[in-house]
Chains A and B, each alone.
Chain A
Amino acid sequence: MALTVPVIFIFVFAFAVIKKVNVYNCFTEGIHEALKFTVSLLPCLAAIFMMCALFEQSGLADRLCKLLSPVFGFLGIPPELTKLVLIKPFSGSGSLAYLNGIIKQYGADSYVARCACVCFGSSETVFYISAVYFAGVKVKKLALPVICVLAATFISTIVACLICRIM
Chain B
Amino acid sequence: MNVIFTVVFIASMIAIAIAAPENLLSSLLGGARDAAEMALTLFCIYAVWMGLSALAEKSGLSKGMAKFLKPVSRRIFKTDSDAANECLAMNISCNLLGLGGAATPYAVKAIGELEKQKNSFAQKLLFVINATSIQILPTTVIALRASAGSAAASDIFLPSLICTFVSTAAAVLLFLIGNRIWR
Contact = CB atoms under 8 A, between A and B. Distances in A.
Interface string A35-75: 10110011001111111111111111000000000000000
Contact of A50 (B35, B104, B145, B171): B35
Given A52-B31, A148-B171, A23 B55 contact: yes
Contact of A145 (B53, B104, B127): B127
Interface in A129-167: 129-139, 141-142, 144-149, 151-153, 155-157, 159-160, 163-164, 167
B83 interface: no
A23 to B, nearest CB: 7
A13 to B, nearest CB: 7
Contacts of A54: 8-9, 12-13, 16, 24, 27-28, 31
A122 B138 contact: yes
Given A134-B127, A139-B120, A58 B170 contact: no
Given A50-B35, A148-B178, A132 B104 contact: yes
A157 B170 CA distance: 12
B178 A144 contact: yes
Contacts, number: 294
B62 to A, nearest CB: 9
Interface in B126-157: 126-128, 130-133, 135, 137-138, 140-141, 144-145, 148-153, 155-156
B59 A21 contact: yes
A21 to B, nearest CB: 5
Nearest to B149: A108
Contacts of A142: 1, 124
A45 B13 contact: no
B131 A129 contact: yes
Contacts of A132: 104, 108
Contact of A167 (B23, B58, B126, B158): B158
A126 B130 CA distance: 9
Contacts of B1: 127, 130-131, 134, 142, 146
Given A142-B1, A148-B171, A53 B59 contact: no
A19 B60 contact: yes
Contacts of A12: 52, 55-56, 59, 61
Interface of A: 1, 4-5, 8-9, 12-13, 15-16, 18-19, 21, 23, 26-31, 33-35, 37-38, 41-42, 45-60, 93, 96, 99-100, 103-104, 107-109, 113-114, 117-124, 126-127, 129-139, 141-142, 144-149, 151-153, 155-157, 159-160, 163-164, 167
In the A-B complex, the 5 residue pairs with the smallest Cβ-Cβ separation, listed nearest first, are A30-B54, A121-B138, A53-B31, A152-B171, A156-B167
Given A30-B55, A114-B159, A129-B130, 12 more contacts: A30-B52, A46-B31, A48-B35, A117-B145, A132-B104, A133-B111, A137-B112, A145-B131, A149-B127, A152-B166, A153-B167, A155-B170
5 contacts: A108-B149, A134-B123, A137-B112, A152-B170, A157-B163
